[in-house]
Amino acid sequence: MKEKIFLDSNLFIYAADKESLFYNESVGILTDSVETGFFTSDLCFLEFYQVITDGRKTPKPLSPENALLYIKKLWGTPEVDVLEADILGAFLEKEHQENVSYSNFLA
Helix (H) or strand (E) holding 15, with range, is helix 9-16
What is the Cα–Cα distance from 74 to 32, expressed in whole angstroms?
Answer: 13
CA quadruple 61, 64, 70, 74: dihedral sign: positive
Confidence tier at 54 by pLDDT (50, 70, 90): very high
SS3 102: helix
Per the CB < 8 A criterion, the answer to whether 37 and 81 are in contact is yes
pLDDT value, residue 93: 63
Confidence tier at 87 by pLDDT (50, 70, 90): low
- 20-50 pLDDT, tens digit per residue, is 999 999 999 999 999 999 999 989 999 999 9
